[in-house]
Amino acid sequence: MADEIVEIFTDGACSGNPGPGGWAAVLRYKDHEKQLSGWSSQTTNNRMEILSAIRALEALKRPCRALVHTDSQYLKNGITTWINGWKRNGWRTSSKALVKNSDLWQWLDRLCSAHEVGWAWVKGHSGHDENELADSLARKAIEDGLSGLLQEDVIGRSLKVQFSEPPC
């Protein structure tokens, strides 16, 4: 892996929780920048936070070093600390409850194993330029999705909604 690091700034947003949600990621490598965003019609903020990291890591073209900046303690702690116990406990919490969003956590875990990923927490809505950009992209994705301008990212839907519809 090269010494250079891909800087990734992620955010998730929800209009109601649950409700329509958006995710966004800003990827920077040297002098290149890529902005990604998507939306789901019925989801939670936490699912959008995880999905923003998934979509960012999926966009990497080869194994590399990446530093993911997030304003979500849930995302950062989930992938750096809690996930080890969840895996050991068969995707159950210490209180034996099923881990929420385990489908996305498992997907994110697989993606992280293909790269060397570091995680950094930033305070949300505090003037951090890249975090503010990711937030505005996520909110715009909700707006565009509800207006019919953006196709839905159905993976972000809450599982109850995903499985209540017939597969096609």
* Domain assignment present for 136: yes
Which one from 69, 135, 153, 156 is the annotated catalytic residue?
Answer: 135
| Dist. CA 106–CA 100, nearest whole Å | 11
C-beta separation of 40 from 47 below 8 A: yes
- Strand ranges in 51-151 using DSSP code E only, listed in sequence order: 65-70, 116-121
**Total structural domains in the chain?**
1
Which one from 3, 31, 32, 125 is the annotated catalytic residue?
Answer: 125
49 catalytic, yes or no? Answer: yes
* Domain assignment present for 168: no
- Residues linked to residue 29 through DSSP beta bridges, in sequence order: 32
**Where in the sequence is the domain holding 25, given as residue range(s)?**
5-163
| Dist. CA 21–CA 98, nearest whole Å | 23
| pLDDT (tens place) for every residue of the chain, 168 residues total | 446 899 999 999 999 999 999 999 999 999 999 999 999 999 999 999 999 999 999 999 999 999 999 999 999 999 999 999 999 999 999 999 999 999 999 999 999 999 999 999 999 888 889 999 999 999 999 999 999 999 999 888 875 444 333 333
* Domain assignment present for 85: yes
* Domain assignment present for 130: yes
